[in-house]
Structure 1
Amino acid sequence: MSQFALEVKALTKTIGKKTIVDDVSFQVERGEIFGLLGPNGAGKTTIIRMIVSLINRTGGTVLINGHDLDDSFTEAMNELGAIVENPEFYKYLSGYKNLKHYARMALSDISEERINEVTELVGLENAINDKVRTYSLGMRQRLGVAQAILHKPSILILDEPTNGLDPQGIREFRDYLRLLASQGTSVLVSSHLLSEMQLMCDRFAIIEKGKLIHISSMHDNETSEARKVKTIEVELSNPTLASKLLTEHMTDVKVTSSKGTRLTLSVRKEQIPMINKLFVENDIDVFEILNVKATLEDRFLEITNKDKKEQMV
C-alpha cells in the first residue's frame, strides 16, 4: 500500500505553444481533504481532468494509491472516485436503481450491504427509492458522492462540488466529506469558495497561471511575520480618546480601522496587556478584546499579490 492516496509529479499540459499546466507536483495523504485553489482559468480543472484521464497529459506522472496511470491504468482507476462537473443519472430510475446499475459495471463485486451503507452515509435512505427526477440539486450531489465511493476508492476527486447548492446543502456536503475523510478516504477538491475551503480542507495548494505557487496546511495559513503581529478588535467606551492615547504612547501599534465603539489594532501579543492597562488608567471602559484570525481569503490574496509583485521585479 502506498504512503499517499495520490501523487502528482511534474504534471504538464500544453496546447500548441500555450502552457496550460506547468510542472505541477503535489501529494495527497491518506484520510485528508486537500484543496486546489486558484482564480478561474488558473488550470485547476485541467489538472483534475488529467488526473482522472478525461484528457491526455503532455508530461508528468500520476500515481493513485501507488498505481501508475501509465503502467497500471485499470488498477489505478479502480482506486479512484470522481465527480467532475454535475453528476449525471438516469432520471426516470430511482436513486437505488442508479446505484445498482453502476454497481454492475464496477470491476469488483459490490454487495447490497455496500449500497445500503453508502446510501446511509450520504443521508439518502429516506429518498433512495424515489425517482432521481424528483431530487433537489443537493440530493443529486449526494447521490453522486454515493456512486463515486461505492467501490471503496482510495481517493475521491471533486471539481467545484458545491456549485448551485444553498447554504444548508453546502454545509451538509462538507460534513459528508469530513466523515469520509475520518473513515480513511482521501479527498481532492477544487473550488473558488475560499470560506468553504477553509472549513473543509486540511491542506491546500494555490494554482495560478498553470503553476503551483504555494502549498501548506490550512492551520498554518499565516506567514512567520504574521505570527509575530496579531490583529485584535477592541470594544470600548471612548474609541476617539483610545486612538489618541495609542498615537501618543504606543507609536508602533497601528489602528487599522475604527467602526462605532470598536477599534481594530495591529499589535504584538505582549503589547495587549499594556494597551488594556493604558485604556483603563485613562478611564476608558474596555468591554471586549477579540483575536481576529487571518482568513484563507487573506492568505490567498497575500500569496497571489506577492507572486505578481515578484514577477514584475
Structure 2
Amino acid sequence: MTSPALAVHALSKTFGPKLAVEDATFAVARGDITGFLGPNGAGKTTVMNMIVGLTDPDAGEIELLGVRQGSRRRDLRMLIGYLQEKPRIYPEMTARGYLRFFADLYGIPDAGARVREVIERVGLTSAVDRRLGNFSRGMQQRTCLARVMLHRPELLILDEPTLGLDPNGVADMRAIFREMKAEGVTLLFSSHQLAEMERVCDSVVFMRQGRVLATGRPAELLPSGVSAGSLRLELYEPAAQCLERIAGLPEVERVRQTGLHRVELLLHRPGADSRDARAQATRLFSQAGYTVLSIDAAAPSLEDVFISLTRPENPDRQEPAGLVH
C-alpha cells in the first residue's frame, strides 16, 4: 500500500498559556487535492508551519513523503513548496528578477527557462518586467505561487492561495491546481472560498479551535442527525424578492440566492425523507405568495458541512479551554 504524501499524528502546539493545536491527526493521499478548512483562529496556519518545519511541535509526529520526522530533513524540504497567507515580496524587484533570484537560490538548472515557464503558467507574462511594488495584491499572490512552483515540488502546501484574486484569477488558480494534480503533485490548501474548494478537492480536513473535527468527502462528513443536504428551488418570481421574507420563517434555517430565479433552502426540521421535505418547502413558498416551478434535493455541500460542524449548538463538539481564537 502506498504511503500518504503527508501524515500528521497527534500534533499539538502551545504558545505560552494558549493551546493552538491539540492532538491533530490526518493524512493527505499522494496525488490528491485536499482542502484545509476552519474558521479564523482554528489552527490551520500553525499546523502548516509545523509541517514545513517553521514551527516545532510540542508533541506528535509528521510523516512527509513516507519519511517520519521528514520536516527536519533538508532534502525532503526541497521537495515541498509552501505559500504562506501573507507571502513576502521585494517591492523594488521585478517579477522576473524576483523569480530568477529564487531559482538561483534553489540551484535550478536552466533557471531562465524555468522562470519563463512558471511566469506563463500563472498568467503574468505581460507584467514580468514590472516592479512587484506596483503589482496588485492578486498579482503579487500569483508571483509568489510561481516562486513555490519553481523547484517542481512533489507536495505543495498553500495557505489562502486565492486571497486577493478576482473571479478570473480564482478560476485560473483552479486550473493550475488541476494541471498540477494531473502531473502527480499533491496539494494541501486552505481557503474560505468553499465553492471553489468543492470544485477541485478530492477530500477535506475540518479544524476548529485547534482540533481536527472531521476528514473525508463532504457527503461522508455530516454528523448523525444533521440534514443530508439542502433543497434547490426554481421560482417564477425573481429570487431576490423572496429572500428576506422566507429567511424570516421559523421553519427555515438558511436560504440563499443561487441564480436570478433560483434559491437554495435548508429547513430546520425537514420531513422524514426528501419527498416530505420538498412538499414542506413548496407549501412554505406558496403560503408566502411565491410560485415554485421546480424543486429537488441537493447533495450536501462544503457549506452545509462547515456550518453543521462549527455551529455553536453542535452537541457532538466539546471544546477545550484555553485555545487560541
Using structure 1 for the length normalisation, give the TM-score. 0.77
How far residue 92 of structure 1 moved from its aligned partner, in angstroms, is 2.4
Structure (1 or 2) with the larger CA radius of gyration: 1
How far residue 216 of structure 1 moved from its aligned partner, in angstroms, is 1.2
Three-state SS of the structure 1 residue aligned to 2:195 is helix
1:235–1:263 contact (8 Å) kept in structure 2: no
Q: Distance in 1 between matches of 2:263 and 2:39?
A: 33
Deviations 1:126-171 (A, max 9, x none): 2223332332222211111111011011111111222233333333
How far residue 75 of structure 1 moved from its aligned partner, in angstroms, is 1.4
* Aligned residue runs from structure 1 range 3-18, under 5 A: 3-18=3-18
**Are 2:301 and 1:303 aligned?**
no
1:33–1:202 contact (8 Å) kept in structure 2: yes
Q: Distance in 2 between matches of 1:16 and 1:191?
A: 27
Partner of 2:121: 121
2:218–2:305 contact (8 Å) kept in structure 1: no
AA at the equivalent of 2:184: G
1:160–1:190 contact (8 Å) kept in structure 2: yes
2:223–2:309 contact (8 Å) kept in structure 1: no
Give the CA RMSD over aligned residues.
3.8
Partner of 2:182: 182
**May I ask how many residue pairs the two structures share in their alignment?**
291
Deviations 1:261-302 (A, max 9, x none): 999684635679999xxxxxxxxx973234434331221121
Residue 307 and residue 208 in structure 1: after superposition, are their counterparts in 2 closer, same or farther (change >3 A)?
Answer: farther
How far residue 210 of structure 1 moved from its aligned partner, in angstroms, is 1.0
2:38–2:44 contact (8 Å) kept in structure 1: yes
Deviations 1:51-71 (A, max 9, x none): 122221111222222234468
Partner of 1:43: 43
Q: Distance in 1 between matches of 2:89 and 2:186?
A: 24
Q: Which shows bigger deviation, 101-110 or 200-209?
A: 101-110
AA at the equivalent of 2:63: L
Deviations 1:171-224 (A, max 9, x none): 322332222222222111122333333234221111112111111114545567
Partner of 1:29: 29
Partner of 1:144: 144
For structure 1, which runs of at least 5 residues remain unmatched after alignment? 238-254, 276-284
Three-state SS of the structure 1 residue aligned to 2:156 is strand
**Are 2:69 and 1:63 aligned?**
no
1:234–1:286 contact (8 Å) kept in structure 2: yes
Partner of 1:197: 197
Partner of 1:245: none
AA at the equivalent of 1:84: Q
Using structure 2 for the length normalisation, give the TM-score. 0.74
For structure 2, which runs of at least 5 residues remain unmatched after alignment? 238-250, 281-290, 320-325
Q: Distance in 1 between matches of 2:63 and 2:35?
A: 18
Residue 100 and residue 61 in structure 1: after superposition, are their counterparts in 2 closer, same or farther (change >3 A)?
Answer: same
Three-state SS of the structure 2 residue aligned to 1:11 is strand
How far residue 308 of structure 1 moved from its aligned partner, in angstroms, is 4.1
1:236–1:288 contact (8 Å) kept in structure 2: no
Q: Distance in 2 between matches of 1:142 and 1:88?
A: 12
**Are 2:294 and 1:288 aligned?**
yes
2:62–2:69 contact (8 Å) kept in structure 1: yes
Partner of 1:243: none
AA at the equivalent of 1:45: T
